[in-house]
Amino acid sequence: MSASTGYRGKFVKVKTAKKRKTSSTRWLARQLNDQYVARSKIDGYKSRAAYKIIEINDKFHILKAGFNVVDLGAAPGGWSQVAAKIIKSDSTNAPNKLIAIDLLPIENIPGVLSFQKDFYDHDTQEIIINALDGNLADVVMSDMAANTIGHSQTDHLRIMALCENALHFALKILKPGGHFVAKIFRGGAEVDLLTIVKQHFKTIKHFKPDSSRKESSEFYLIALNKKD
């Protein structure tokens, strides 16, 4: 499975409508001219984000058949779609689990047990733990991002706080040798997060997939092989 698309489309220019904000017009134009958005429709993925986890897995081999996986911030489900096929949780009577949560609903995906929950709800972590049926996870992957308010420093701190909470949860449910993957953003506060990660994982990598938009400051933290 490769993220290489080979897609070459014709550039679509979007005119500003009377009731549409200029920022909305830019977003629509970006969507219409994004090769990964177009390719996701052809390949049947729920979002362009599917290609990010494909690239991550192609490079770091975090997903394998039989793994238990927890997908945080999963909607609309692109990462879960890809992971379910690789770990084969979509197979009939597969013993392993793929558990996905998000504030937004996730439409049915074969092999995925999904919950519409806020990660910060008091019972969310317990729900995930119970869904694992007494097992530990092999992989926790998070594409979560906090809602932004337009103030860059505040937004960065909120996003990093969310990622740090995801990390602490991952440390509770990952088996030794398990992997943690999370979206983070450059801005300074990620240094504290990396200090914690280095204490608990043998290998730490930074990775920006080709399918990430060039203008975005996002990149992915790849934490491999949780220490005993």
Write out the binding residues for S-adenosyl-L-methionine.
77, 79, 102, 118, 143
Q: Counting Cβ atoms within 10 Å, is residue 197 exposed (0-12), middle (13-18) or buried (19+)?
A: buried
**How many C-beta atoms surround the C-beta of residue 37 within 10 A?**
16
Known binding-site residues equal 77, 79, 102, 118, 143
Catalytic positions: 183
The C-alpha atoms of residue 19 and residue 114 are separated, in whole angstroms, by: 36
Distance, CA of 139 to CA of 66 (rounded, Å): 11
Taking the CB of residue 107, how many other CB atoms lie within 10 A of it? Answer: 10
- The alpha-helical segments, DSSP class H, found in the chain are 22-32, 35-43, 50-60, 78-87, 124-131, 152-173, 190-200
Pull the structure tokens for residue 1: 């499975």
The structure tokens 């204490």 sit at 199
Q: What is the largest CA-CA distance in the chain?
A: 59
Listed residue (24, 54, 49, 46) closest to 105, CA to CA: 46
